[in-house]
Structure 1
Amino acid sequence: MIDDAPRPQTDIDRVAEEWMGTEVQLEPERRVELGLPGDQSEYGDLSPDRFEARREAVTATLRRLDDASPVDEVDRVTLLELRRTLRLALDELAAGVGYRDLNNIASPAQAVRMVFDLMPSDTDDDRAAIARRMANIPAALGGYLETLREGVRRGIVPARRQVAEVVAQVREYAKPDGFFATLAVATGSRSGIGAAASLAVDLERGAAAAQRAYADLADVLARELAPVAAETDAVGREHYALASRSFLGAEIDLDETYEWGLDELARMTGEQEAVANELVPGGTVADAIARLEGDPSRKLHGTEALRAWMQETSDRAIDELGRTHFDITAPMRTLECRIAPTQEGAIYYTGPNDDFSRPGRMWWSVAPGVTAFDTWRELTTVYHEGVPGHHLQIAHAIARKDHLNSWRRNNWTSGHGEGWALYAERLMAQLGYLDDPADRLGMLDAQRMRAARVVLDIGVHLGKRVPASAEIGVAQVWDHDVALEFLRRNVNMPDAFVRFEVNRYFGWPGQAPSYKVGQRIWEEVRARAEAARGAAFDLRAWHTRALDLGGVGLDTLRTVVAR
């Protein structure tokens, strides 16, 4: 555990802080994400020019690190992790992955819009920044189109399936009654009397500019990119290995992980079948789910009932776990549960800003037409996104201001963060919070899906043969139809969700396995610590020490905790 006394800033801290500042300069949207002062309406350059600017900045920072010497363990971790991150950035720039950055969930097409979800609207200055940001969207998306066009010239293009998905998404943004029009009306209605008229005009103009820009993006994607986009969804071993390394912060044996994924899927399926038998003796998983879905005591109706249940569940977990199993300080105890302003079906978390004046938030983007929700299915989701999952991990790091530099506190690697959140789900079962077989079935349903997508994601992108254990006809190479059928057999979700998820895996290689692989590594690291300490092992202290590290890659986690 880090000492409670404030730690003096070191040379390596200063390099990390300056790199954090450089990242914000290159991507000023992060001011909103991090709650930093400065212009809240700027977008970074999304044109191809950004790649050379980033390469120069990364190279200069690596040179500065070479001239700095660590003075303590905190410095040694920062040096290890920052070097890893910067070298990975150079490898990604060399591979040109940014030229094909288009998918159905996490590319600039979505990010340009999503930043609005975090923008405050409490004051007229806040609302004016929203108007200016909407007006800045045409330039941002114009730069993005330049990058995609340069990718075409270089022969680095996304898959056609992803282009079609994004065209459909951004056409929704561009509708006259879509996101931006709704945002302009809602924001304008909060304006002060003196500023109302001028702000309303600016918001309306900004919304119209944003709608036109997204309509233009959709047209260009459909007209120029779709005809030349890749027919093949798989990115191949070289690209996939780089993506996996990026999302995990670790290098893994992809072939061994594929086989492990098959074993883990079988184990999750077996556990789920055993719990189903508790609920319906002699019945199947499908029988148990049917019974639970028909149980009115486990059903929520309407988004307000969902939000209230999320908040109550989250508050109870924070209160109880903060007294027994984790160090949860006062600023970390506020977690807001909200219904997202979009209707994309995703559930996600956004962290607090540096002084916790904006708290951590759990968002549920409810898909159109969905009005009923099953508590047995979603209880583990609240633990995943809240406490002891994302909120605990991220807020704990943010709260370490006296010990960690800003970059360490805000660094994010998917395998580390999502792996911890899956570890947290299992931990809640170990702590007795999922003793109800129905709630445990929901947790296993989620864990089974995460295991299935390790197999699917690696199988698709590495062109592996479909194993006989998948029970999908004769052995064949993974493709979209096989992937859909495989996921349908392993999740209990609406078909629209299954299709969205499969398209996500096809367009965002390496990300989906980072959850389950990250959980695997977290559990291995804990098991080694338990074996080493024996009877002296203190789980609460171990959790605190691991979370004290802030955001690191999984290779760094393994190295640091081992020593």
Structure 2
Amino acid sequence: MSDTSAGERPQTEVDRIANDYFDAMVAISPISATTFGIPGHDGELDDLSPAGHAAHSHLRQATLGRLDAARPVDDTDRVTVAAMRERLGLAEEVYAAGYDAMSLNVIASPLQGVRDILDLMPQEGDAAWATIAARVGAIPTALAQYRESLTEAKGRRLVAPQRQVAACLAQIDELTSAHGYFAALTGMAERGGASAGTAARVTDSARAASDAYGDLGRFLRDDLLPVAPAADACGIERYRLMSRYFVGAEVDLEETYRWGQEECDRLDAQMREVAERIRPGASVKEAISLLNDDPAYRLDGKDALRAWMQERADEAVAALADTHFDIPGPVRTIEGMIAPTETGGIYYTGPSDDFSRPGRMWWSVPKGETSFGTWKELTTVYHEGVPGHHLQVAQTVYRSGLLNKWRRLEAWTSGHGEGWALYAERLMAELGFLEDPGHRMGWLDGQSLRAARVVIDIGVHCGFEAPASVGGGDWTYDKAWQFLTAHANQGEAWLRFELDRYLGWPGQAPSYKIGERLWLQLRDEVRRREGDAFDPKAFHRRALDVGGVGLDTLRDAVLGQEKEAVR
């Protein structure tokens, strides 16, 4: 497949507006520039102060004004206009409500962002480490600006819940400990080929960054924690906004809450069937214990884990390319990586614009963990790699002949992206790649966790009545924990972090399962319309070529294309 297979598309006025927005956005967001592989900003960090947030707002407003005056010339333009209005408009609503300034949670706030971006930077050679030293040296200013935003939000009575503040304090303690990230940075630089002078600058920058995180910790403890609300729930009005932001569609929250509970029950029944295949008479938890003890599914050591990830990803590319998917040449390369952090979790980072940095799956191995069970993680490789995030993100990056820079690189909606990744896992099950009982249990267990997220996240934040299985009535932390552990089988530390994540990042966690539901509904609608002519490969190509827009925009785009194809 070539990005010009349908002909090079001339740049339009709408494309210029989108490209201008993207260029201006990365100029004021060095973190975004590095994320998208745009050179020239790697030694800098974003302005996290109220003025920095205002600069993004001004850019969005100016772009929306230009879009109002623009004339789309084709369907690609019309999708761009619809997608940008939806994404930028929602971002403006979030900004106006003050949620940018108050951002503090255990997984996706500036506290994590200014450190996490370092993982995407080249780390081999003296020049690379000189750039890292410069960016680490910028952390004190960035965190001081972040405190300004948190202080402004506090003045508007917008403060993260106590549980989030306390958990972030623990993360700061870990980062700044004698064995934490900043203490280890000099050794990483020396192993990466930094000269003595550069290593010394890394040491100085790391010490200053660690001190700055310490200052942030004191601010959180002394200024925010005393006024932080005890309640975890954000309330239904804020939740409606955040749900639209993360899904890119307005969903019926009460109906979705009921559906989430039904999904949990359905998946529980399927898991019991698989447990019977693993050992007749075994419960789900007994079957999982058997899988954990089975040496056929065990890996020992990080090197073995990384090699296994790479082998499974490469096998998926070979099996799916040219049969179920069009996979361009550069997209056929994906790297399995062990993250330098030890927080737990697996995530994907996209390729740079020129593919000089490939798409990567990262596994952040918790400290002390040396044994890994592959029965539950094969489906995760499909989620993060092919046909999941890697195929979705990297194929869109590749489509420079069709899509403008904003559509290719920045357009991202959690419900679209995470929904696709869950859809990809299900597709691999449908294609027979998860027939092994252990691997099938792993897929179903992951699905069960995502369904439980829907119930807990919507129920807690919107104030809906808790399920009868946990006693009904008002949700509490203990009821949420009871429900989560009844439908998920990961370790306690990992699940405690997950629950904190749901409580501190309202609307994001359900977007996975809701997104999958909407992707499946879209596929079913196209299949219904096309009948015997329906081609899954063509559907995937058509849908992925739209890019990571909101799910309502995706639906309109795909069904509009399908209508034209029928004509």
- State the TM-score, normalized to the length of structure 1: 0.97
Partner residue, 2:66: 64
Partner residue, 2:15: 13
For residues 145 and 109 of structure 1, what CA distance do their matches in structure 2 show?
10
3-state DSSP of counterpart to 2:138: helix
Letter in 1 for 2:17: V
Partner residue, 2:121: 119
3-state DSSP of counterpart to 2:49: coil
For residues 192 and 372 of structure 2, what CA distance do their matches in structure 1 show?
31
Partner residue, 1:401: 400
Q: CA offsets, 1:247-300, max 9 Å, x none?
A: 111111111110111111111111111111122222211121122122111111
Q: CA offsets, 1:506-533, max 9 Å, x none?
A: 0000000000000000000000000000
Displacement of 1:182? 1.5
Matches within 5 A, 1:147-226: 147-191=149-193, 196-226=195-225
Note if 1:489 corresponds to 2:486.
Answer: yes
Letter in 1 for 2:433: Y
Of stretches 177-186 and 549-558 in structure 1, the one that deviates more from structure 2 is 177-186
Note if 1:351 corresponds to 2:350.
Answer: yes
For residues 343 and 440 of structure 1, what CA distance do their matches in structure 2 show?
27
Displacement of 1:148? 0.7
Partner residue, 2:138: 136
Partner residue, 1:542: 539
Displacement of 1:29? 1.3
Displacement of 1:2? 8.2
Displacement of 1:331? 0.3
3-state DSSP of counterpart to 2:101: helix
Aligned length: 557
For residues 336 and 123 of structure 2, what CA distance do their matches in structure 1 show?
18
2:147 aligned to which of 145, 148, 153: 145
For residues 523 and 84 of structure 2, what CA distance do their matches in structure 1 show?
24
Of stretches 183-192 and 196-205 in structure 1, the one that deviates more from structure 2 is 183-192
Of stretches 321-330 and 9-18 in structure 1, the one that deviates more from structure 2 is 321-330
3-state DSSP of counterpart to 1:156: coil
For residues 2 and 482 of structure 1, what CA distance do their matches in structure 2 show?
54
3-state DSSP of counterpart to 2:377: helix
Note if 1:274 corresponds to 2:273.
Answer: yes
Displacement of 1:57? 1.3
Relative to structure 1, the CA distance from residue 2 to residue 72 in structure 2 (aligned partners, 3 Å threshold; closer, same or farther) is farther
For residues 191 and 291 of structure 2, what CA distance do their matches in structure 1 show?
42
Partner residue, 2:319: 320
Letter in 1 for 2:512: Y
Partner residue, 2:563: none
Note if 1:446 corresponds to 2:446.
Answer: yes
Relative to structure 1, the CA distance from residue 6 to residue 438 in structure 2 (aligned partners, 3 Å threshold; closer, same or farther) is same
Q: Is the 8 A contact 1:292 1:438 kept in 2?
A: yes
Q: Is the 8 A contact 1:2 1:545 kept in 2?
A: no
Partner residue, 1:513: 510
3-state DSSP of counterpart to 1:45: coil
Partner residue, 2:99: 97
2:34 aligned to which of 29, 32, 37: 32
Relative to structure 1, the CA distance from residue 190 to residue 279 in structure 2 (aligned partners, 3 Å threshold; closer, same or farther) is closer
Displacement of 1:324? 1.6
Q: Is the 8 A contact 2:53 2:101 kept in 1?
A: no
3-state DSSP of counterpart to 1:270: helix
Letter in 2 for 1:441: M
Q: CA offsets, 1:400-425, max 9 Å, x none?
A: 01111110011111000000000000
Letter in 1 for 2:332: R
Partner residue, 2:378: 379
For residues 415 and 311 of structure 2, what CA distance do their matches in structure 1 show?
28
Consecutive aligned runs of 4 or more in structure 1 exceeding 3 Å deviation: 188-192
For residues 311 and 156 of structure 2, what CA distance do their matches in structure 1 show?
52
Q: 5+ unaligned residues in a row in structure 1: which ranges?
A: none
Displacement of 1:327? 0.6
Relative to structure 1, the CA distance from residue 124 to residue 369 in structure 2 (aligned partners, 3 Å threshold; closer, same or farther) is closer
Partner residue, 1:361: 360
Matches within 5 A, 1:329-340: 329-340=328-339
Partner residue, 2:565: none
For residues 56 and 313 of structure 2, what CA distance do their matches in structure 1 show?
39
Q: CA offsets, 1:451-493, max 9 Å, x none?
A: 011000000001111121xx22x32211111111111111111
Q: Is the 8 A contact 2:185 2:203 kept in 1?
A: no
Letter in 2 for 1:72: D
Q: Is the 8 A contact 1:2 1:548 kept in 2?
A: no
For residues 271 and 179 of structure 2, what CA distance do their matches in structure 1 show?
43
Letter in 2 for 1:500: F
Matches within 5 A, 1:206-285: 206-285=205-284
Letter in 2 for 1:104: V
Partner residue, 2:564: none
Letter in 2 for 1:556: T
3-state DSSP of counterpart to 1:338: strand
Displacement of 1:386? 0.3
For residues 281 and 178 of structure 2, what CA distance do their matches in structure 1 show?
54
For residues 322 and 54 of structure 2, what CA distance do their matches in structure 1 show?
50
Q: CA offsets, 1:161-184, max 9 Å, x none?
A: 000000010121112432123122
Letter in 1 for 2:311: E
For residues 295 and 315 of structure 1, what CA distance do their matches in structure 2 show?
25
Q: Is the 8 A contact 2:345 2:364 kept in 1?
A: yes
2:77 aligned to which of 56, 66, 75: 75
Displacement of 1:58? 1.3
Q: Is the 8 A contact 2:34 2:41 kept in 1?
A: no
Partner residue, 2:558: 561
3-state DSSP of counterpart to 2:362: strand
Partner residue, 2:473: 476
Note if 1:524 corresponds to 2:528.
Answer: no
Displacement of 1:435? 1.0
Pairwise CA RMSD of aligned residues? Answer: 1.3
3-state DSSP of counterpart to 1:306: helix
